[in-house]
Amino acid sequence: MTKDGQLWRPTRRRLLQAGAVLGTAQLASPFVQIARAADVVKIGMDNPLTGTYAALGKNELIGAQMAADEINAKGGILGRKVELLVEDSTSGDAGVAVQKARKLIDRDQVNFIIGNVNSALAQAIANVANEKSVFHVVPGGHTDSVTGKDCHWNTFRVCNTTQTEANAVASTLVKKAGKKWYYLTPDYAFGHTLQAGLEAAGAKLGATKVGGALTPLGTTDFSSYLIKAQAANPDVIIFLQAGDDAVNALKQAVQFGLDKRFHLAGAQQELEVLEGLPPEARVGTWVFEWYWKQPKVAGVDAFVAETRKRTGGKVPTARHYFGHTAIWTCALAAEQAKTLDAVKMAKAMQGFQLPPEIAMMPDGAFYRAGQNQMIGDLYVGHAQSKGADDPEDLFVVDQVVNGKDVSPTLEETMCKQDWPA
């Protein structure tokens, strides 16, 4: 931890320092003390900048930088400037992610650590952060265990669990498409738990699995998997891929004409994927975890406007939102606890309701006590080839689902936090 009196010297690794003032609404927390140039609060970000999930990781970074600029414009964290140190975890190498986490914690002495998009890497980073007693926020790694059976007192998560996503969309899939489901699933923690979640949610509604295949991370040719899916004659082919894998899988499915014979759908979908698809492949029923088009929801218009300034006019995605919320979670934890002590910050965030301008959801968002999982809204709807008013409006929200209604109970999550004495 940086101590009072240590000189603050900008280096090429200090990627974010006191930035431009962002004109957002005033927040509830008292950011009134002027930041001292002689001291900083370091936030380490261990996230993919290369590989299958590079686009998702880079957008989380943009959101994180925006949040850090906002916080510094309000006086920093406990009167100290925020400095964001960024490491490329890669998209799928847990060994690299762990090495980078240790580097940020041990050498760079970060006060907080953020990461990861990849669920397996998020869990690996969580284990290191727990060993070192560092406050950790997972922006966008979804597998249930992170805030479930392998949860830690110091790890908080912004994005939803896979079971929550599955519960949110299952009834819509049954109503719109049918009860015979075939799964194409990425072969790692995220895919496994998302499929398990959909199977459990679907079973309660009479849906059955008629087949499935596991696809390696980084698959480019899905033809053999699509042929098998077609042969199973399902009502729905469920795509659980993310990032570049999702783009390749859906593009090839439409090239094969499968969208004319089956309903193509899934649970989690992302604007990055829809933007990467040709218009004819923007089809299906999905869940978005945040969407940029939310009239009259606090903070959204300002967030969209600032993101457009930083991205050449492109609207924010859920990944920008995840990165932004993760950094603000760190700041809010410190302000609530009035300290950078990880245990006190984690305790201060039990049941904490995010300010509306940070939550940016109709029903708000909060961190569930005893699990550290953010509970917010989910957006169930369908993809569209092109927006009527904006070319990036590629998703139609048919239903906003309150996360409190579809999240597993605390007991069902199996999270048992082992707090320090």
* Residue type for position 406: V
**Bridge partners of 138?**
157
pLDDT at 225: 98
CA dihedral 371, 155, 366, 410 (to 10 degrees): -10
Q: Where are the alpha helices (DSSP H) in 355-402?
A: 356-359
DSSP string covering 263-276, please? EEEEEE--HHHHHH
pLDDT at 19: 41
The pLDDT tens digits along the chain (421 residues) read 433 333 333 343 444 443 433 333 334 343 333 333 449 999 999 999 999 999 999 999 999 999 999 999 999 999 999 999 999 999 999 999 999 999 999 999 999 999 999 999 999 999 999 999 999 999 999 999 999 999 999 999 999 999 999 999 999 999 999 999 999 999 999 999 999 999 999 999 999 999 999 999 999 999 999 999 999 999 999 999 999 999 999 999 999 999 999 999 999 999 999 999 999 999 999 999 999 999 999 999 999 999 999 999 999 999 999 999 999 999 999 999 999 999 999 999 999 999 999 999 999 999 999 999 999 999 999 999 999 899 999 999 999 999 999 999 999 999 999 999 8
CA distance 189 to 197: 12
Query: What DSSP character marks residue 251?
Result: H
CATH superfamily for 36-160+295-375 is Response regulator (3.40.50.2300)
CA dihedral 20, 21, 23, 25 (to 10 degrees): 140
Q: Which two tokens stand for residue 277?
A: 């698809």
> Going edge to edge, which strands form the sheet with 36-47?
80-88, 36-47, 112-114, 135-138, 155-157
To the question of pTM greater than 0.85 for the whole model, the response is yes
Q: In which element (H, E) is residue 97 found?
A: helix 94-102
Tell me the Ramachandran region of residue 10: left when phi exceeds 0, alpha when psi lies from -120 to 50, beta otherwise: beta
CA distance 316 to 312: 11
**Bridge partners of 186?**
215
| Cβ count near 282 (within 10 Å) | 21
pLDDT at 24: 37
The CATH topology of domain 163-288+378-406 is Rossmann fold (3.40.50)
| Cβ count near 417 (within 10 Å) | 16
DSSP 3-state of 361: coil
CB 104 within 8 A of CB 86: no
Instruction: Tell how far CA 210 is from the center of its chain.
Output: 30
Tell me the Ramachandran region of residue 133: left when phi exceeds 0, alpha when psi lies from -120 to 50, beta otherwise: left
Contacts of 305 (CB under 8 A, 6+ apart): none
* CA angle at 135 for the pair 134 and 140, rounded to the nearest 5°: 120
**Bridge partners of 380?**
287, 399
**Range(s) within the chain of domains with CATH label 3.40.50.2300:** 36-160+295-375, 163-288+378-406
